Amino acid sequence: MPRFFFHVHNGHGDIPDESGTDLADQSAASRLAVDSVRSMVSEDARRGVIDLKGRIDVKDAADNLLISVDFIEAFDLTLP
């Protein structure tokens, strides 16, 4: 299985992924990125903060950018 690296850029600062994760394919990597955005934003929301300015860059072992998921893309937003 190929290894994917998920580098997070947001209000918490840049969080480089040093170890990477083995996944079946790029679509599994894309699903994990979206799940992770939802999980992290949910936790922040419980603390009263929603910051959708971040993004996750998914790279391969050779540091090529494969997918970039903006936090805001992970949600259907309804605002007042």
Q: Is 18 in the site for other proteins (CB under 8 A)?
A: yes
Q: Is 74 in the site for other proteins (CB under 8 A)?
A: no
Q: Is 78 in the site for other proteins (CB under 8 A)?
A: no
Sequence-ordered list of residues with C-beta below 8 angstroms from that of 21, at least 6 positions apart, any chain: 3, 4, 5, 6, 32
Among 20, 15, 27, 22, which Cα is nearest to 5's? Answer: 20
# binding residues, other proteins (CB under 8 A)? 18
Q: For residue 15, give the H/E element and its range.
A: strand 13-15
Q: Is 48 in the site for other proteins (CB under 8 A)?
A: no
Q: Is 1 in the site for other proteins (CB under 8 A)?
A: no
Q: How many residues does the chain have?
A: 80
Contact set with other proteins (CB under 8 A): 6, 8, 12, 15, 17-19, 21, 32-33, 35-36, 39-40, 43, 46-47, 56
